């Protein structure tokens, strides 16, 4: 293998990808592929972990025990998703603590959606329905991604996500069929989360810098705009069926293309939020940083205990 030059190795690598042979951790891969994956997977991991915060906000105030148990289980799943993904990033040689520190320093990004506040209980419905719904749209194709550990993590994640979306839809549906005030709450949550949910798919294809290479490497299987369109097409009828109105005056079924036309996305808002200036960016990152700092003594104490016991065993 040593006598093979890089371009030969690259050709073999790309051939595997084209043949849908998965790449595994110890296989040769181009540096840029490794870097790209580490960036994508760790951003994804950060999103799962930061994503616990807006919902964690409502666990103690869930309206009844059933809702509380459900929300708790859902948030616990998201912690697990974070773990699967950090582990996948580690198989590429990424240092887990360093990737987490990059989140805390603002160097690493996470999904812009989690920088919006959760103001009412109805937001728990909107998040499960729309945010987890959009996440599923993104993640299902990634189950076929070229990197084995990432694809396997996505399969586990997707299995768990469908309950997330259903529980959210149940919450919003219950409110939508409730009193006038409850229905207003549901509509208000949809109004606030609709556009940020569409932004979750990332910049439009014309402005997406990584798409082309990522598609060639099969670490992305659909473009941002394709996924966004799919999401709109499945979600609009769901809103209609529970009597809620999608807050887009331009939304219209296009008979010819057999999909919905929808209004322009406010990309200025998107870039502001991605750039750190969303309503909750500071709060979210501060919370994560505090969690690491406050938990540091536990990490150290557990390790000291394990070392002491190991020393006794070998003595």
User: From the list other proteins, Fe ion, none, which binds 210 (C-beta under 5 to 8 Å, kind-based)?
Assistant: none
Q: Which is nearer to other proteins, 76 or 213 (CB)?
A: 76
Q: Which is nearer to other proteins, 153 or 171 (CB)?
A: 153
Give me the residue label for tokens 């849908």.
Answer: 20
DSSP 8-state assignment for residue 262: -
Q: Which helix (H) or strand (E) holds 277?
A: none
Alpha-carbon distance of 92 to 272, in angstroms, equals 31
Per-residue mark of binding to Fe ion, 30-49 (x: CB under 5 A): ------------------x-
Q: Which helix (H) or strand (E) holds 138?
A: helix 132-142
Q: Which is nearer to Fe ion, 133 or 278 (CB)?
A: 133
The residues that touch other proteins, with contacts defined as CB under 8 A, are 1, 24, 26-28, 73, 76-77, 80, 83-84, 87, 90, 93-98, 152-153, 156, 160, 299, 302-303, 305-306, 309-310
User: From the list Fe ion, other proteins, none, which binds 27 (C-beta under 5 to 8 Å, kind-based)?
Assistant: other proteins
Per residue in 9-47, is it b (16+ CB within 10 Å) or e — as a string? eeeebeebbeeeebbeeeeebeeebeebbbbbbbbbbbb
Q: Which is nearer to other proteins, 234 or 306 (CB)?
A: 306
Q: Which is nearer to Fe ion, 102 or 161 (CB)?
A: 161
User: From the list Fe ion, other proteins, none, which binds 49 (C-beta under 5 to 8 Å, kind-based)?
Assistant: none
User: From the list other proteins, Fe ion, none, which binds 97 (C-beta under 5 to 8 Å, kind-based)?
Assistant: other proteins
Applying CB under 5 A, does 81 fall inside the site for Fe ion?
yes
Does residue 147 sit in helix, strand or coil?
Answer: strand
Q: How far is the CB of 77 from Fe ion (least distance, A)?
A: 6
Give me the residue label for tokens 């076929």.
Answer: 144
Q: Interface with Fe ion by CB under 5 A: which range of 25-33, 161-169, 275-283, 300-308? A: 161-169
Q: Which is nearer to Fe ion, 78 or 123 (CB)?
A: 78
Alpha-carbon distance of 181 to 304, in angstroms, equals 55
In the chain, the largest separation of any two C-alpha atoms, in whole Å, equals 78
Q: Which is nearer to other proteins, 9 or 136 (CB)?
A: 9
Phi, psi at 93, each rounded to 5°: 95, 5
User: From the list other proteins, Fe ion, none, which binds 164 (C-beta under 5 to 8 Å, kind-based)?
Assistant: Fe ion
In Å, how far are 7, 109, 140, 154, 264 from 43, measured between CA atoms?
Answer: 29, 6, 17, 14, 26
User: From the list other proteins, Fe ion, none, which binds 132 (C-beta under 5 to 8 Å, kind-based)?
Assistant: Fe ion
Quick one: CA dihedral 100, 105, 111, 115, positive or negative?
Answer: positive
Q: Which residues bind Fe ion (CB under 5 A)?
A: 48, 78, 81, 132, 161, 164
């Amino acid at each position: 293998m040593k006598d093979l030059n890089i371009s030969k190795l690259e050709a073999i690598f790309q051939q595997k990808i084209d043949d849908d042979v998965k790449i595994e951790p110890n296989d040769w891969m181009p540096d840029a592929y490794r870097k790209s994956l580490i960036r994508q997977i760790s951003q994804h991991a950060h999103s799962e972990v930061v994503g616990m915060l807006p919902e964690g906000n409502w666990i103690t105030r869930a309206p009844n025990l059933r809702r509380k148990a459900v929300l708790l289980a859902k948030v616990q799943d998201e912690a697990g998703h974070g773990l699967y993904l950090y582990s996948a990033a580690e198989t590429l040689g990424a240092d887990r603590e360093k990737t987490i520190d990059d989140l805390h320093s603002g160097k690493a990004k996470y999904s812009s959606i989690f920088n919006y506040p959760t103001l009412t209980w109805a937001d728990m419905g909107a998040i499960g329905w729309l945010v987890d719904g959009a996440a599923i749209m993104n993640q299902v194709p990634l189950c076929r991604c070229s990197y084995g550990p990432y694809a396997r993590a996505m399969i586990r994640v997707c299995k768990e996500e469908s309950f997330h979306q259903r529980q959210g839809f149940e919450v919003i549906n219950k409110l939508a069929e409730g009193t006038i005030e409850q229905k207003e709450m549901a509509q208000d949550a949809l109004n606030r989360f609709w556009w940020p949910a569409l932004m979750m798919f990332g910049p439009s294809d014309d402005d997406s810098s990584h798409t082309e290479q990522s598609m060639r490497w099969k670490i992305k299987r659909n473009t941002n705009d394709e996924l966004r369109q799919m999401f709109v097409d499945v979600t609009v009828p769901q809103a209609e069926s529970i009597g809620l109105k999608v807050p887009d005056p331009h939304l219209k079924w296009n008979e010819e293309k057999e999909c919905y036309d929808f209004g322009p996305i406010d990309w200025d808002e998107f870039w502001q939020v991605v750039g750190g200036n969303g309503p909750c960016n500071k709060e979210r990152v501060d919370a994560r940083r505090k969690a690491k700092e406050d938990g540091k003594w536990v990490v150290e104490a557990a390790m000291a205990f394990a070392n002491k016991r190991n020393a006794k065993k070998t003595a």
